[in-house]
Structure 1
Amino acid sequence: MFLRIDHIGIACHDLEKQIELFSRTFELTVVVREVNEEQGVKEAMLHIADGEGGGSYIQLLEPLSEDSPVGKFLAKRGEGVHHVAFGVPDVADAMAKIGEKGVRLLDERPRHGSMDSLIAFLHPKDVGGMLTELVQSAKPSQNG
């Protein structure tokens, strides 16, 4: 079902500071910066590597407000890993298959994600306490 780990989402208070840290320390390059009003974040995708199933990234997330999901996460847990995202060939199909196994879906249908992808989230209590995202890449070459 999974093609790759698409990205690791990391919540932070200062996006620019974290971009500088990850760029300097790990020699990662920012490939996309976006503001996602629907999710209440400013974000940067830093490229790690490409593989057969597509690219892998670090996604740095700064909340647009304290009452956004990432803002609430930071207030409760502080900076750090927010979610793990897995690349899938078809996010709607993956949602259906996973939902049939009793895992609660936080999204009723796929929605717009970073880099024009389609995404959906799974309930963390049903997958070992980890907020899990499913990602269908917009680029056919990243869909396997």
Structure 2
Amino acid sequence: MAEAIYDSSNIFAKILRGEIPSHRVYEDDAVIVFMDVMPQGQGHTLVVPKAPSRNLLDADPAVLGPLFVHVQKVARAVKKAFDADGVTVVQFNEPASGQTVFHLHVHVIPRFDGIPLKPHSGQMEKPEVLAENAGKIRMALAS
């Protein structure tokens, strides 16, 4: 099997370049954090490194440390922001695993006892809901 090549036209690369709008929660030199437009639960957030890589399998190891430091901060913030019982952290690699956007990213989803995740369907959340949820997470990150 030939090695897959990073495609800079993927949707997250376009978000990083500002070509597609997003509900941003946080940004620094290493990562961007924004709301998933097709959330599996309230507060579903994505942590995306700025460095280009298809997924964990081909990422520069130097990117992974800062990425997961941010994943931990965001996980703590979403748990607090939504008074969640727990947090699911998921990362997919290649189509067989369920990866559909080929830029490394980590899903951070607040979880509540007895409430299953919704399917990651084509159902987009209302922009005002995404904006409100991003604001809650920003407040939790700041406190």
TM-score (norm 2): 0.30
Higher strand share: 1
TM-score by length of 1: 0.29
Query: Higher RCO, 1 or 2 (CA under 8 Å, sep at least 6)?
Result: 2
